[in-house]
């Protein structure tokens, strides 16, 4: 049975990712800052995976967890999905929130990639990595300098990572969702409403209108893309930033 580690498994995208891998008969290792949410992402405790608590922004904790997981068998795929967003103009930047966002969105991705790829290399075991970026990693947005910087950075990291490991049978890719129907998007809408002094319903409609399809992306559309990138059907794909955005970046 193939084994996948999903970081940020308790989130609005992380849970569907776990569910999609479970449907493909993977043994899912669910990892979240909140252990209860990590177990909930598996649905049925103990029958189809295992759960761990870990702060992905702590490199020592990530390294210890990676070694613990690998001691029970090799890992075929790693998915990094933790994320944080806030909206604020650069001239008014809250540097404490900026540092927290960078730690979650970018630093943690580095720590997880480094810890697990070292184990793959030491054991000559091929594998696949998928990182959740954003359409904001391909196009800047007013009020989102910190978020965009973290997501642009993630794409650059993964492209370089893929180049380093391609000849070794290890693949690394990024998924760039558009506006996904999750609690985090609702929180962002509230922040934009406050920042721009605009009615919340108007902000929500504007988020819908950003895609040429006139709709939000479902979490399941992201999760199924994630499973595909980790599958043998995508064995020739590495270093890409796959847009799953309902046409947001068409114009």
Domains of the chain, with CATH numbers? Answer: 3-244 (3.40.50.720)
DSSP-derived 3-state class of residue 169: coil
Positions of E strands within the chain: 3-7, 27-32, 49-53, 77-80, 127-132, 170-177, 241-244
DSSP-assigned letters across all residues of 84-140: ----B-GGG--HHHHHHHHIIIIIHHHHHHHHHHHHHHHTT--EEEEEE--GGGTS-
Q: Given this model, what pLDDT does residue 146 score?
A: 96
Q: CA 167 to CA 152: how far, in whole Å? A: 25
Partners of 110 in beta bridges = none
**pTM for this predicted structure:** 0.93
Length of the chain: 251
As a 3-state breakdown, the chain gives helix, strand, coil percent values, each rounded to 5, of: 50, 15, 35
Nearest to 28 by CA among 2, 59, 64: 2
Per-residue pLDDT of the chain (251 residues; tens, 9 = 90+): 999 999 999 999 999 999 999 999 999 999 999 999 999 999 866 568 999 999 999 999 999 999 999 999 999 999 999 999 888 889 999 999 999 999 999 999 999 999 999 999 999 999 999 999 999 999 998 889 999 999 999 999 999 999 999 999 999 999 999 999 888 888 888 888 888 888 988 888 888 888 899 999 999 999 999 999 999 999 999 999 999 999 999 86
Q: CA 179 to CA 182: how far, in whole Å? A: 9
- Are 218 and 180 in contact by the 8 Å Cβ rule? The answer is yes
Q: CA 6 to CA 41: how far, in whole Å? A: 10
Residues 6+ apart with CB under 8 A from 47: none
């Amino acid at each position: 049975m193939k084994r996948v580690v999903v970081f940020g498994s308790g989130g609005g995208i992380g849970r569907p990712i776990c569910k999609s891998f479970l449907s493909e008969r993977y043994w899912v290792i669910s990892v979240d800052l909140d252990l209860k949410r990590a177990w909930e992402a598996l649905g049925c405790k103990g029958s189809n995976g295992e759960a761990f608590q870990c702060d992905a922004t702590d490199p020592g904790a990530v390294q210890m967890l990676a070694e613990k997981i690998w001691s029970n068998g090799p890992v075929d795929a790693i998915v990094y999905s933790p994320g944080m967003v806030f909206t604020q103009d650069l001239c008014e930047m809250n540097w404490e929130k900026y540092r927290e966002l960078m730690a979650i969105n970018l630093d943690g991705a580095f720590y997880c990639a480094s810890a697990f790829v070292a184990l793959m290399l030491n054991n000559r075991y091929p594998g696949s990595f998928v990182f959740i970026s954003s359409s904001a990693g391909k196009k800047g947005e007013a009020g989102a300098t910190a978020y965009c910087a973290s997501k642009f950075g993630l794409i650059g990291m993964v492209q370089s990572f893929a180049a380093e490991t391609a000849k070794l049978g290890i693949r690394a890719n990024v998924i760039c969702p558009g506006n996904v129907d999750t609690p985090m998007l609702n929180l962002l809408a509230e922040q934009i409403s406050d920042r721009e002094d605009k009615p919340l319903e108007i902000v929500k409609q504007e988020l819908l209108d950003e895609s040429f399809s006139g709709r939000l992306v479902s979490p399941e559309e992201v999760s199924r893309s994630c499973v595909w990138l980790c599958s043998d059907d995508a064995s020739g794909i590495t270093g890409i930033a796959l847009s799953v955005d309902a046409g947001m970046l068409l114009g």
